[in-house]
Structure 1
Amino acid sequence: MKRTKQLIALLLATVLVLGLAACGGGSAGSPSPSASGTGGEAAPVVYRELYVMEATTLNYLVTSQTTEFELSANFIDTLVQYDQYGVAQHGLATDWSVSDDGLTWTFTLRDGVKWYKSDGTEYADLKAQDFVDSMHYICDPAHDSKTFDIVSSAVKNAQKFYSGEITDPNEIGVRAVDEKTLEYTLEAPTPYFLSMLSYVCFMPVNGDFLAEVGDRFGTSADTILYNGAYICQEFNPQENQVWVKNANYWNADNVNIDRIERTYNAEALKLAPDMYKQGSVDQAKIPSELLQAWLDDASTADLVRPTRASYFTYWWLFNFDPQFDAAYEPDNWKLAVNNEAFRLSIARGIDRAKAEFPYEPNNPNANLINTITPEGFCDYSGTDYTQMGDLAAVSNTNPFNAEEALQYKAQAIQELTAAGATFPIKVLMPYNPGTTYWGESCQILEQQLEGLLGTDYIDIIVEAGPSTNFLAEVRKTGKYALMLCNWGPDYADPETYSDPWSLGYTYSWPEKTTQADLLTGYTYTAEDMSKGVFDEDKFIGTPETVYIKMVQEGKDEKLDIEKRYTSFANAEAFLINHAIVIPFHRQASDGYVVSKLSVFDRPFAPFGVANYRYEGAHLLDAPISMDEYYAQMAEWETAREAALAASASK
């Protein structure tokens, strides 16, 4: 209790200054002093890890992949940052204001921030024009930015420029008032706009450098510039990465790790635990098949801890536009997936606690969720979003119901037989072998679901896909029938969780359904494209889904937050009730690990890329134990509640 009281006593200072020391260092180890923070007297603090998921680009202006967010979050700063409690802090902006009508946001940039090349040499000063150049780049359809939709949802004329309705980029709602003053103009009042600014699409870029490297931008460590906590000294795909502390970073005193060495290994999940024991790496994921042995061994029991649950949520999706090989019978799958009783037999039949076991064998119910948007993400006047509208009933109901699953099976057999389907229905379920526990979970699901519904009804085919470019080669090309997918929030509003089922997103293509009650009966026209409903002419003639219409009602409501949230909640409930999506879990980021990295002193936010930042983290002499982790988490939760309350009262 004493430590908690000390934390709360320090809170007012903490929420005003980014990067103060973490709560609860833990008795297992103390932080190693950074050489660059102690006049060079101490040895450099080096963090070493293996990785298996490779980044395919360093171009932060186009990517929407989490493997690339981790890099950009540490190389490029944002206007607004978040401290370890999730409270907004000054980043590249030291001040901001919003006009009375909520349409114009003005930011004052921090003095002395510069751009650096990969060799550490200075390139230029950071200027307001860098944010303008970034916005112009993202709004150019030639660059195919995967985060343009976030920009266009808020920034004035972004969609009009993208679609060609206007041709002057200076009409886009961003301008440099002077070198240190940046102004955004919005299409409509957007109360959560500040939270959007910690995402990659609002990061700056130096226009001169962009012109200099052209299409090579982001293809190597020396074709981007750096203004963040780290500079990428080496970037050798499927070999290694080396990040070094940016000694000239404006908040360098809060960067405690001098060098990060990442080594690629396709067998990282298998090799890392032994490499940790050998002293070759400072962190290793502990696979579920090894976890109990580590916990039973006195020499390792106090080294293992869980990782924090993220706001990335995971759910199984049915693919309405199968593009897989004929051997998996895509035409038969189309009949099955467009039968709601079939989908519901799967949704009610999955015992999620069993599928969760590889991820969390000690408490498999801990991270299960019944919704797409996780509890605690946002609320209205104290009512959690998941308890609003039709979503409340969904949130409070366990979807697993064996009796109902068998009833839906019987109904589906009757309806699908009449439609010409053959049994068993082949269900192609691929997974990424580079993702911890995914394959094991798929195998458990296969056994459990086939055991309940019968192999005469379904034939679940679990297959390993590529560990690199899995999304591009499997999900985005529609080469699956049922697959675990995920989404993380980009800003602090439930709209952010609606994107995967919108036009243009390569998730499950629900607009391809032939199930009439999932469609409104309206077909998109060229006029809709001119209005910015979509930005590719291939969607002309596409039927409108009921879900998209429901979501649009939420998007159109800008000021009545209760009505807005309720509209999104009803749309989300529609997806789940019709078994278009099957919620699974809010996964701990890396399951169980042995790690010398501190946990609760790093930036934190449910949205954006703050959670990927190493700024503020310490490298401990030894890992913290399970008990120490939960004690520190309890302290952090208490301190965070107070920090958020203090911030809200300002």
Structure 2
Amino acid sequence: MKKRLSLFLVLLLAMSTFLAACGGDKEKSGKSGGDNTKKDNVLNLTETQDIPSMDSALATDAVSFNTLNNTMEGLYRLDENDKAVEGMAEGEPEVSKDGKTWTFKIRDAKWSNGDPVTANDFEFAWKKALDPKTKAEYAYIMYDLKNAKAINTGEMKSEELGVKAIDEKTLEVQLENPVPYFKELLVFGTFLPQNEKYVTKQGDKYGLEADTAIYNGPFVLDEWKHEDKFVMKKNPNYWDADAVKLDKIHTKIVKNTQTDVNLFESKDADLIRLSSEFVDKYKKNEGFFTEKEASVFFLRLNQTSNELLKNVDARKAISMAFDKKGITDGILNNGSTPADYFVPAEFVHGPDGKDFRDTAGKYLSTDIDKAKDHWEKAKKALGKDKFTLELLNYDDDSAKKVGEYLKEQLESNLDGLTVNIKQQPFKQKLDLETKMNYDFSLGGWGPDYLDPMTFLDMYLTNGAHNQQGYSNPEYDKLINDAKTTLLLEPEKRWEALVKAEEILLKEDAAIAPIYQRSRAYLKQPYVKDIYFHKFGADYTFKYASVK
């Protein structure tokens, strides 16, 4: 949300990233004082980052996926309870007995330019995302489609993809293996349709400006002033336009929480996220609420070029050498909890009905003494006493504070380590991670669909989001088996996923988990029916209203 994260987003502290948001709360509203009515029919929001891309094949972050989720529509979208409900798909799909062939009927719907939405819009968009020339980071999320991986790696031609427009309103999809969460998977942004004729005409400009894209969702992107604001307005051509209550959604790019609070107090912002220093002040406000998300934040430890981070003892030392509660309770102060894991708590349940975390263990908990022991082993193995690492970080207020805290903790507890911080705007940071041009990086991940795999397959060898050079053949086998041969053996599949996380963290310390995010919000009393999601995009505004 999306991933990224994602996303997620998407990703990141007080902002939307490759992360996905949490919960199904659609009625958490309260009085902030004063008038409880709103004269216009406009929802005013803020965001810490600009939209990196409005091309669904290229989007990787929460800001992009949130905007796409509200301006575009795939075969399905999520309802207030995170269930997949009909979007462009009309009626129940026809599914073969072996679960590998799905046939969808496309409803009568239009693009914002008046063109009909067709089955070919899906075939075209999905083939585009899998085309190696597109270089889509999220192409791997489509690997359940027949021949998708071979096409994406250049071994087969796109014509061999198991996706075919039988006619204008019939889409046939063939899978490599039956996928129990396939409907929810189709909600994800990479599976959105694109109008082939329009996209081809726009060429490289597609999705870079408000007027170089067309939309089939509840809203259209009407205005986009980069690094300043973007505006969505109701799409009159949307098939379910009668259900859309808002006329417009204004989103202002704001990197400072004090500015957010000022906008909220003056009623120029209707929903804001609070950073830690404002939580105590506003937590008794009736408009205050928190959302526990399924997003986990961690340190990426780049093993491709840095000799120190290639050493497993050094990675374990870094992972255990900082106080996680100091971050969640002292800096964030928003309900976030320390994470000694990667797959989040209260996210997904196994075949036995138990939460994944009740079955899996805890790994890399804060332990300064163990961290120092591992650090001494690493220094001895590398024959050096002093090391310098650069921490890649975001440029918003909360991220800055977390980065400074990590620097202080690591330098204090690991003798001879110097940490320099490199703060970057969102898009530039993502680019540096993609190029693996960093030492270690503060990042986060929100789930793209309802399964532990949305976290764990990130770290397959050479995976698109494995942006740190991690590789373990045993881990790869467990993940690949869970994607294929174990799909019809849910208990064994669950065991494989639990074991994979143990290898990733306990054995290899590939990443350093920090916390599972909650967010603190203030919402104006006249704002109703914003849907918060556990996976995929953070928000749905289709049913939102301001009255």
Range class of TM-score, shorter chain: 0.7 to 0.9
Matching residue within 398, 401, 405 for 2:371: 405
More helix by share: 1
SS at match of 1:593: strand
Residues 565-617 of structure 1 show CA distances to partners (whole Å, capped at 9, x for unaligned) of 211211111111122212222212xx3332228888344543323x3321222
Larger Rg: 1
Which residue of the partner structure matches residue 347 of structure 1? Answer: 319
Unaligned runs of 5+ in 2: 1-23
Does the 8 Å CA contact 1:32/1:618 hold for their aligned counterparts?
no
Distance 2:235 2:172 in 1: 28
Structure 1 residues 484 and 304, CA gap change in structure 2 (3 angstroms): farther
Paired amino acid for 2:375: K
Distance 2:334 2:27 in 1: 26
Which residue of the partner structure matches residue 440 of structure 2? Answer: 482
Distance 1:223 1:597 in 2: 36
Matching residue within 207, 210, 214 for 2:196: 207
Which residue of the partner structure matches residue 540 of structure 1? Answer: none
Which residue of the partner structure matches residue 121 of structure 2? Answer: 130
Does the 8 Å CA contact 1:69/1:612 hold for their aligned counterparts?
no
Paired amino acid for 2:448: D
Paired amino acid for 1:177: I
Structure 1 residues 221 and 182, CA gap change in structure 2 (3 angstroms): same
Unaligned runs of 5+ in 1: 1-19, 34-41, 118-122, 296-300, 323-332, 512-517, 520-544, 621-650
Which residue of the partner structure matches residue 462 of structure 1? Answer: 421
Q: How much does 1:303 deviate?
A: 5.4
Does the 8 Å CA contact 1:84/1:603 hold for their aligned counterparts?
yes
Distance 2:35 2:487 in 1: 46
Structure 1 residues 208 and 479, CA gap change in structure 2 (3 angstroms): closer
Residues 34-88 of structure 1 show CA distances to partners (whole Å, capped at 9, x for unaligned) of xxxxxxxx95411223333112321112221222111111111121122111222
Paired amino acid for 1:552: N
Alignment of 1:145-544 (within 5 A): 145-151=136-142, 153-167=143-157, 169-265=158-254, 267-294=255-282, 301-302=284-285, 305-322=288-305, 333-334=306-307, 336-357=308-329, 360-361=332-333, 366-378=336-348, 379-388=350-359, 392-394=360-362, 399-413=365-379, 415-416=380-381, 419-421=382-384, 423-434=385-396, 436-453=397-414, 456-472=415-431, 474-502=432-460, 503-505=462-464, 507-511=466-470
Q: How much does 1:361 deviate?
A: 2.3
Q: How much does 1:184 deviate?
A: 0.5
Q: How much does 1:293 deviate?
A: 4.3
Q: How much does 1:506 deviate?
A: 5.2
Matching residue within 492, 495, 500 for 1:571: 500
SS at match of 2:337: coil
Paired amino acid for 1:393: G
Q: How much does 1:243 deviate?
A: 0.9
Paired amino acid for 1:566: E
Distance 1:376 1:83 in 2: 19
Higher relative contact order (CA 8 A, sep 6+): 2
Which residue of the partner structure matches residue 533 of structure 1? Answer: none
Structure 1 residues 601 and 276, CA gap change in structure 2 (3 angstroms): closer
Residues 288-328 of structure 1 show CA distances to partners (whole Å, capped at 9, x for unaligned) of 23443455xxxxx4156244122221111211124xxxxxx
Paired amino acid for 2:239: W
TM-score (norm 1): 0.74
Matching residue within 119, 135, 142 for 1:144: 135
Distance 1:443 1:147 in 2: 31
Q: How much does 1:156 deviate?
A: 1.0
Structure 1 residues 125 and 619, CA gap change in structure 2 (3 angstroms): same
Distance 1:73 1:447 in 2: 39
Distance 1:598 1:197 in 2: 33
Residues 425-457 of structure 1 show CA distances to partners (whole Å, capped at 9, x for unaligned) of 2122121113x511111222222333333xx33
Residues 248-281 of structure 1 show CA distances to partners (whole Å, capped at 9, x for unaligned) of 423333323221112334x443422223223333
Does the 8 Å CA contact 1:32/1:45 hold for their aligned counterparts?
no
Distance 2:199 2:422 in 1: 41
Which residue of the partner structure matches residue 537 of structure 1? Answer: none
Q: How much does 1:204 deviate?
A: 1.1
TM-score (norm 2): 0.87
Structure 1 residues 32 and 157, CA gap change in structure 2 (3 angstroms): farther
Q: How much does 1:484 deviate?
A: 1.8
RMSD in angstroms over aligned alpha carbons? 2.9
Which residue of the partner structure matches residue 14 of structure 1? Answer: none
Alignment of 1:36-115 (within 5 A): 44-95=40-91, 96-111=93-108, 113-115=109-111
Which residue of the partner structure matches residue 487 of structure 2? Answer: 558
SS at match of 2:295: strand
Paired amino acid for 2:490: I
Identify which range, 366-375 or 398-407, moves more after superposition. 398-407
Q: How much does 1:103 deviate?
A: 0.7
Distance 1:600 1:375 in 2: 28
SS at match of 1:393: coil
Q: How much does 1:466 deviate?
A: 3.1
Structure 1 residues 470 and 310, CA gap change in structure 2 (3 angstroms): same
Which residue of the partner structure matches residue 608 of structure 1? Answer: 536
Distance 2:458 2:287 in 1: 35
Structure 1 residues 358 and 430, CA gap change in structure 2 (3 angstroms): farther
Identify which range, 94-103 or 267-276, moves more after superposition. 267-276
Distance 2:364 2:514 in 1: 11
Does the 8 Å CA contact 1:231/1:244 hold for their aligned counterparts?
yes
Does the 8 Å CA contact 1:210/1:217 hold for their aligned counterparts?
yes
Structure 1 residues 559 and 32, CA gap change in structure 2 (3 angstroms): farther
Structure 1 residues 558 and 108, CA gap change in structure 2 (3 angstroms): same
Does the 8 Å CA contact 2:450/2:535 hold for their aligned counterparts?
yes
Residues 120-154 of structure 1 show CA distances to partners (whole Å, capped at 9, x for unaligned) of xxx21111121112122222222222221111x21
Count residues with an aligned counterpart: 519
Paired amino acid for 2:352: S
Paired amino acid for 2:409: Q
Paired amino acid for 1:54: D
Distance 2:26 2:534 in 1: 19
SS at match of 1:136: helix
Does the 8 Å CA contact 1:358/1:441 hold for their aligned counterparts?
no
Distance 1:569 1:101 in 2: 27
